[in-house]
Structure 1
């Protein structure tokens, strides 16, 4: 994912889904070690982590995956 697209993804999470920056940061920390070589990691694991920790609903997760389909 390009830096611009990843930035747009984070903006979508915050502005469209009202996910707090703290929640996003917590989910990013879970994948920090596995994504060290990538400054802009794959957003799919991040999305699933948000869902697994109850930070997004299943409906929001569907919206995330719909957004990702259009971004690629």
Structure 2
């Protein structure tokens, strides 16, 4: 994931989905080699719900079409 895009995703996670910073930091450590896996890692560790995961994918899809 591009640096700017990752920052935007993290902002979305914090501001729109109110994911705690510590949860995001934990997930980022888990995906150090493959940052594009951040949404799935958050879900895998129970840090986001399935509904939130869908919202993340919707946001990523919407953002990439702009």
**Pair in the same fold by TM > 0.5:** yes
Structure 2, unmatched stretches of 5+, are none
RMSD: 1.2
Structure 1, unmatched stretches of 5+, are 36-40
Higher RCO by CA contacts (8 Å cutoff, separation 6 or greater): 1
Relative to its length, the structure with more helix (as a share) is: 2
Residue matched to 1:8 = 8
1:19-72 per-position Cα deviation (integer Å, ceiling 9, x unaligned): 01110010011112x24xxxxx32xx1101100111000000000000000121
